[in-house]
Structure 1
Amino acid sequence: MTAQTSFALTDAELAAFHRNGYAGPFTLYEPDEIKKAWGRTRLELFDRSAAVYQDEAAKSGVTNIANYDRHLDHAFLADHITRPEIVDRVSSVLGPDVLCWRTEFFPKYPGDEGTDWHQADTFANASGTPQIQWPGGSDFGGTITVWCAFTEATVDMGCLQFIPGTHGTMNYDETKRMTYQPERNTAVEKTGVPRGFFGYDYRELQIDPAWKPDESQAVSMEMRAGQFIVFWSTLMHASHPHAGRSKDMRMGFAARYVPTSVVVYPDTTEIEEYGGRVSLERYGSVLVSGADTYGHNRLVDRTTRDHPFRNASRGGA
C-alpha cells in the first residue's frame, strides 16, 4: 500500500473549516502508540535542565509558564509539532510558510473544573501586551491551535467544547487585561457548571458585560488518545469539567501556528502571565514549513536534536 504523502485539507474540509472555525478530529497516533510515547515523555519532562523557562519559572512558582515550549528541549515533542499530518493541514489555511510559536500542556485531573469560554486574538489577555501581531490590514487574527489528545478525552474527562462559527467576531477586548486571583477564580459556577480560567475570570474582558455565550450551540469534541483537532484561537472554546468517574488524567498538548509574516512577542522581552514573568532570552519560534523571508522573529532549528539553542538565529524582534 502506498504511503500517504500529503495531508492537506480537502476542498470540502477547508470550506467547513472556514465556516465552523475547526476541522477534525484526525488521527495522528494509534492509542497504544501514544500511550507508550506519552508515558515515556511524561517521565522525561521532569528533567528541566534544558527547559527554556526552567530557572525563573521554578523560582517564581509560575508552573503554567514552566509548561510552555517543551518542544524546544524534548525530541518527541519537537517531532510532534513538525509531523506532516499536522503541518500540511495547518498550511492549508495559513499558506506554505508557517511557524510554531508556542506549545502548552493542558492537564485535567479527576474533579477539576471546566475551562471557561474564551477567545484569543493577540494573546494579550493576561498582560495587556500582544504576544502575536499580524500584518497591518490583515483579514486574519489569532493563531491556529492544534490540540492533540495524549490521553482519552471524553465529556466525562473534560474534552473540548466549541461554538461553531464564532471565530469571526471577538466578544472580548484583550486590552482590558484580567486580574490574576486564583483564590477567587477557581471553579466558579457558571450556568450550572464549575468553570475557571487558570486563576483568571475571562468575563472581565467582555466587550458587553451582559453578554453570555450561547451554550445551546456548543458541540463537544470527544477524542480518543492520539487524535487531534485544528481550530482558530478566536473560536469560542472551553472544556467540560473532569467528572471524576475515571481516575485517569486527561492530557491535551496544544501547538500554536502562525504565518512567518506574523511578529511573535513584539516589543517585549518577557512573558507576563499567571502572576509572574519569565525572560524570552532563550526562546525561539520553529519554522515548520516553507521559508521565512521576513526575519521578524528569532528562529530555533529543532531538526537537529542537539542543544535547542545552538542553532538559533535572531531576526528583528
Structure 2
Amino acid sequence: MTTEATENTETRTSFALSPEEIEQFHRQGFIGPFTLYTPEEMKAQWRKTRLQLLDRSDAVYPDDALAGATNISNYDRHLDNDFLASHIGRPEIVDRVNSILGPDVICWRTEFFPKHPGDEGTDWHQADTFANASGTPQILWPDNSDFGGTITVWSAFTEAAVENGCLQFIPGTHESMNYDETKRMHYDPNSINSVDKDGIRRGFFGYDYRQLQKDPNWTPDEDQAVSQVMRPGQFIIFWSTLMHASHPHEGKTNEMRMGFASRYVPSTVTVYPDSDHIEEYGGRISLDRYGSVLVSGENKNADNRMVTETTRGKKF
C-alpha cells in the first residue's frame, strides 16, 4: 500500500496579512484588532495566569533586583510562564508579523501594562532604539536599515475601553521621530508629565517624555488621535515609532485594564548591544538569564543572547 507524502504533512491555516492589509499597515502604522481568544477563553486564562505570575521563583529577573522598580518588574514573564511562552509564538500573531518583517523574527521583550482605577493616561511617545528611559540603545538595526523600531503586538487580556484606559494612536506618524532618544530623561516616580487639550492628566511611568522632544514647542496633533477599543482576547499590531498613548482609567469600574505587549524584530537586529544589565524605571536588572526567542525562521545574528526553552523547561 502506497503512503502519500501528504498524509504526514501537517497543514494549518495561514494568518498572513493580505496585500490590502499590508498597504494599510504601511500607511497608518498599525493594523487590527484581530481576535486570538474568545472573551470567555481570555478571561478564564487570565484568572489562571494572574495567580501563576505571583510566583517569581523562576522569573529571569529576581525580586531582589527589583527593589524600588516599577514598570521594569513587568518585563519578560514569557521566559518563565507557559501560557505567555505559547502566546508569543501563536501563528495568528507570528504569521502577521512575518508579513511585515519577513521570515526570520525574534521576540526580544514582553511587558505587562496594567492600568488601575484612577491611573493617569500614558503620555504620547515613540520608541526607536528604546534608549528613551535608560539612555542606552536596547535594539540596533543593521547599518543599512532605513529606520528602526520594533513591531509591538498589544494584546487585551481584559476589556480595553476609553473609560478604563485603552490605547490611542495618531495614524501615519511612524516614519519620522519627534523625539531624540540620545537625550536622557530624569526619573521621578511622583511626576505628572502633562495635561492634554481636554484637561486629561498624562504621565510616563515616572518620566517626562517631553524632555526628549526635538522641538520643545512641538505638540502632538491630538485631533487626529483614534482610540483602540478591544475585547479580551484581541490584539493589535503597530510600529513602536507610531505616536501612541493611552486614556486614563476613570474608575467607573473597580477592574484593572491589563494589556500584554510582545515585541518583535528581524533576527538581524542586535538586542541589548554591549549591555549586561538594564537600568531604568528606578531599577537595575542583570541580563544573565535573559534571552531572545526565535519565533520563526533562522537566527541571523550570532551576537544575540538566545533561549530555546523557558526557565521551567517549556520549549519555545
Scaled to the shorter chain, the TM-score interval is over 0.9
| Percent pairwise identity | 69
> In the alignment, which residue of structure 1 is the partner of 2:23?
15
Alpha-carbon separation, structure 2, partners of 1:130 and 1:294: 17
What secondary structure does 2:47 align onto?
A: helix
Q: Segments of 4+ in structure 1 off by > 4 A?
A: none
> In the alignment, which residue of structure 1 is the partner of 2:75?
68
Given that 2:193 and 2:207 are in contact with CA atoms closer than 8 Å, whether structure 1 keeps it comes out as no
Alpha-carbon separation, structure 2, partners of 1:243 and 1:293: 45
**TM-score, reference length from structure 2:** 0.93
Given that 1:271 and 1:277 are in contact with CA atoms closer than 8 Å, whether structure 2 keeps it comes out as yes
AA of the residue aligned to 2:106: L
The farther-off stretch of 99-108 and 269-278 is 269-278
Alpha-carbon separation, structure 2, partners of 1:64 and 1:164: 26
Given that 2:70 and 2:283 are in contact with CA atoms closer than 8 Å, whether structure 1 keeps it comes out as no
AA of the residue aligned to 1:6: S
What secondary structure does 2:249 align onto?
A: coil
Alpha-carbon separation, structure 2, partners of 1:19 and 1:296: 33
**TM alignment of 1:19-168, pairs within 5 A:** 19-58=27-66, 60-168=67-175
Given that 1:113 and 1:187 are in contact with CA atoms closer than 8 Å, whether structure 2 keeps it comes out as no
Return 5+ residue gaps in structure 2 as ranges. 1-10
Q: Using the TM superposition, give the Cα deviation of residue 187 of structure 1 relative to its aligned residue in structure 2, in angstroms.
A: 6.4
The farther-off stretch of 251-260 and 185-194 is 185-194
> In the alignment, which residue of structure 2 is the partner of 1:235?
242
Return 5+ residue gaps in structure 1 as ranges. 313-317
Q: Which deviations, in whole Å up to 9, do the C-alpha atoms of 1:73-126 show, x marking residues without a partner?
A: 000000000000000001100000000000000000111100000000000011
Q: Using the TM superposition, give the Cα deviation of residue 57 of structure 1 relative to its aligned residue in structure 2, in angstroms.
A: 3.1
Q: Using the TM superposition, give the Cα deviation of residue 252 of structure 1 relative to its aligned residue in structure 2, in angstroms.
A: 0.1
What secondary structure does 1:100 align onto?
A: strand
Residue 243 and residue 187 in structure 1: after superposition, are their counterparts in 2 closer, same or farther (change >3 A)? Answer: farther
AA of the residue aligned to 2:128: D
Given that 1:124 and 1:174 are in contact with CA atoms closer than 8 Å, whether structure 2 keeps it comes out as yes
> In the alignment, which residue of structure 2 is the partner of 1:193?
200
What secondary structure does 2:182 align onto?
A: helix
Tell me the C-alpha RMSD between the 2 structures: 1.6
Alpha-carbon separation, structure 1, partners of 2:252 and 2:166: 14
Given that 2:120 and 2:202 are in contact with CA atoms closer than 8 Å, whether structure 1 keeps it comes out as yes
What secondary structure does 2:145 align onto?
A: coil
**TM-score, reference length from structure 1:** 0.93
Given that 1:100 and 1:287 are in contact with CA atoms closer than 8 Å, whether structure 2 keeps it comes out as yes
Residue 130 and residue 56 in structure 1: after superposition, are their counterparts in 2 closer, same or farther (change >3 A)? Answer: farther
Alpha-carbon separation, structure 1, partners of 2:161 and 2:87: 22
Task: Tell whether 2:313 aligns with 1:307.
Answer: yes
Q: Using the TM superposition, give the Cα deviation of residue 210 of structure 1 relative to its aligned residue in structure 2, in angstroms.
A: 0.1
Q: Using the TM superposition, give the Cα deviation of residue 248 of structure 1 relative to its aligned residue in structure 2, in angstroms.
A: 1.1
Alpha-carbon separation, structure 2, partners of 1:113 and 1:305: 34
Alpha-carbon separation, structure 2, partners of 1:274 and 1:53: 14
| Alignment equivalent of 2:277, drawn from 270, 276, 297 | 270
Number of residue equivalences: 305
**TM alignment of 1:198-277, pairs within 5 A:** 198-277=205-284
Residue 110 and residue 306 in structure 1: after superposition, are their counterparts in 2 closer, same or farther (change >3 A)? Answer: closer
Given that 2:113 and 2:258 are in contact with CA atoms closer than 8 Å, whether structure 1 keeps it comes out as yes
Q: Using the TM superposition, give the Cα deviation of residue 305 of structure 1 relative to its aligned residue in structure 2, in angstroms.
A: 7.8
What secondary structure does 1:101 align onto?
A: strand
**TM alignment of 1:285-300, pairs within 5 A:** 285-300=292-307
What secondary structure does 1:43 align onto?
A: helix
Alpha-carbon separation, structure 2, partners of 1:36 and 1:241: 25
AA of the residue aligned to 1:32: E
Q: Which has the larger radius of gyration?
A: 2
Alpha-carbon separation, structure 1, partners of 2:311 and 2:281: 30
Q: Using the TM superposition, give the Cα deviation of residue 186 of structure 1 relative to its aligned residue in structure 2, in angstroms.
A: 3.1
What secondary structure does 2:174 align onto?
A: coil
